[in-house]
Chain A
Amino acid sequence: MISVDKVVKRYKDVIALDHFSFHAGKNEIVGLLGPNGCGKTTAINCMLSLLKFDQGTIELFGQPVNPNNNKTKARIGIVPQELAIFEKLNVVENVDFFCGLYVKNPAKRKELVDEAINFVGLEKYRKFTPGHLSGGLKRRLNIACGIAHKPDILFLDEPTVAVDAQSRNFILDGVKKMKDQGTTVIYTTHYLEEAEDLCDSFVIMDNGRNIAAGSLEDLQNSISTTESITVKFISEPDNLKELLENIKNVNQVIKSNNTYNIQFDKNNNNLTNLIHFIEENSLTYTEIRSEQPSLSNIFLELTGKELRD
């Protein structure tokens, strides 16, 4: 569906996209992650053929992007980070206006508009103007305006910024539903937990480059930090910390009262090995928890900084 290959985009002396590449298939939610200024929005604008780029190729639906290709444009939806709605039009009018840019048939458009409004849960607010909607509801309206025509590819740029928990859940559930209906979603966000929960694959960007891409598992395998197991012991010998450190592949043990956080190097059988150790030493415990590196850990290791830096 989307193929971006070695795209270079310069703003005078600044390289916004530096041989940036990624691919997205049908029904896939791709998280485009990176700190502010890393080139996410530039990449999206290039894919939307709004921005010229200096090198590389971008193909949507197997066709090179072209600002004159209305057939391709008709299959794309865009939900910009900033609200792009008319303050003076009510919910129905706003959605109808933007849907009208894609769908000429009035009857079909009415059906799609109603569907989009229901999809984002704004059916009770049909006659409300944006000024009378909360921040979260405005965001939902912003989304409804971008999805009413049922695009095959949807670009969602930070759709959950500054929204309440209820609206956030509504938006995330909606994105999942869209995927189920066959839409490919390019999703940019600062919220890594949200991306982890939502996306099938990820593209981590920094300084205009794609520094890692793939599923969460692929990314977890691409970094040195791996599994971390936390055990809360009931009985613990004095030298338990040293004993734990001698288990195969253990990288580090951090003790806090009777709770031990054991970090392992790459291995598939860490939890099994630990349980064997506990049984052999007749230790008792109340809680054991295994954690794979989160997207935050991956991001931190790959970029050397927190996403919100």
Chain B
Amino acid sequence: MNLLRLTKYLLLINFKDFGFLFWTIAYPLVLVTIFMATTANLGSNELSDIDVGVDSQYEYTAVLEEIEFINVQEMTESNARTDLSDEAITGYISSDGSLLVEGSGFEQTVLESVLNQVHQTGTLGVSPENFNYETDFIQTTDMDTEPQVVMFYSTIAMISLYTMFTSMELISSMRPNLSTMGARFSASPFSKSLYILASSLASLVLGLFSSGIVIGFLMIFYQDNLFNNLPATLGIVLAANFAGLGLGYIIGLTPKVNINVKSIFPVVLIVGLAFLAGLMGPGLRGMINQQAPLINQLNPLAHITDSIYRVNLMGNFDGYWMTILYLVGITLVSALITLVALRRKQYDNI
């Protein structure tokens, strides 16, 4: 049997498996749909119509008036307090530049950021009129105020490691010490390396397929463009799929553990890593980053999530290549362990 035919069969075995279809395609789609439904309001913040009261003595009133999404009204502090209570204005800027707000929220955050920039720019001696607050603000603050994108990116990162499941199953099925199917393989003259190659190919096709489905789904149905740099996103997804493949082989080769028990390992691993990487909201992620930064420094899912985030929303490649290198490293180490384990052809115990 040639490589393509074997790969075809291995793909067929998975595609006909309800478990595979559910966990790798339906489940991620359901997950992102739920995220989209439950976080719809979080993502709808528009940078417009922020009503602000200013003291008549405030020196940068003219600058604020130039900013498209800020409506400036001169008023006294006492009037401002009334308007703030009535939610007629978002904030009040006193003559010394201090900001008075009631409550916290998106608009208050925006206003504070803009004021900070205006004052910093002024302090540096740069004419505030020459500064494009809108552009800078959008680049730095939208990310902070859209936690659901972290969840979407974490989901994609999680799916990218799903190759772990297929590679684990495929490698288990060819080892005589792990399955009766393995006895059939090992007793046959079939090339072990060809089987590994076909398994890897099939796992990668399946992994990329499920990642592609979810990315496509988000591109079509999500209101904003999450993938400003699709090639870079696909690059990291591909590297993550390879890493998942390698990790799956190592789990699959664990001796004397039933395949059903083994399946629990990647589930716990992936869900755990995704959780730490911000799948269930970026709050936990932030807390872990503060309390135990080493966890997410080692967490490949956190790196994948960060890299997808940066290349798509920040437009920079900070840490991108390091993440690719990290994933390639995981792949190479896993491949090495797998190859060493597979050199064995006879067993002491079956």
Residues of chain A whose beta carbon lies under 8 Å from any beta carbon of chain B: 11, 45, 48-52, 67-68, 70-71, 73-74, 76, 78, 80-84, 86, 88-89, 93, 97-98, 100-102, 104, 129, 145-146
Contact = CB atoms under 8 A, between A and B. Distances in A.
B61 to A, nearest CB: 71
A51 B12 contact: no
B187 A48 contact: yes
Contact of A78 (B6, B183, B190): B183
Interface string B176-204: 10011101111111100000000000000
Contacts of B291: none
Given A78-B184, A97-B1, 5 more contacts: A73-B188, A78-B183, A83-B180, A84-B183, A104-B2
Contact of B188 (A52, A88, A89, A102): A102
B187 A73 contact: yes
Contacts, number: 87
Given A50-B350, A51-B348, A67-B346, A82 B180 contact: yes
Nearest to B181: A84
Contacts of A129: 16
Contacts of A146: 184
The 9 A-B residue pairs with the shortest CB-CB distance, nearest first, are A100-B1, A70-B189, A67-B345, A88-B16, A101-B190, A101-B188, A73-B189, A84-B180, A80-B180
A96 to B, nearest CB: 8
Interface of B: 1-2, 5-6, 9, 12-14, 16-17, 176, 179-181, 183-190, 345-350
Nearest to B195: A101
Contact of B183 (A48, A97, A101): A48
Nearest to B14: A88
B187 A76 contact: yes
B11 to A, nearest CB: 11
A129 to B, nearest CB: 8
B180 to A, nearest CB: 4
Contacts of A50: 176, 183, 186-187, 346-347, 350
B183 A88 contact: no
B13 A89 contact: yes
Contacts of A51: 346-350
Contacts of A80: 180, 183-184
Contacts of B2: 104
14 contacts: A45-B350, A48-B186, A51-B346, A52-B346, A71-B189, A73-B188, A74-B189, A80-B184, A84-B180, A86-B9, A88-B13, A93-B12, A101-B184, A145-B184
Contacts of B346: 49-52, 67
B9 A101 contact: no
B349 A11 contact: yes
A17 to B, nearest CB: 13
A203 B181 CA distance: 27
A52 B350 CA distance: 10
Contacts of A89: 9, 12-13, 16
Nearest to B20: A88
A74 B190 CA distance: 9
Contacts of A70: 189
B346 to A, nearest CB: 5
A159 to B, nearest CB: 13
A305 to B, nearest CB: 26
Contact of B347 (A52, A100, A102): A52
Nearest to A69: B189
Contacts of A97: 1, 9
A89 B346 CA distance: 29
Nearest to A149: B188
A269 B188 CA distance: 51
Contacts of B185: 101
Contacts of B350: 45, 50-51
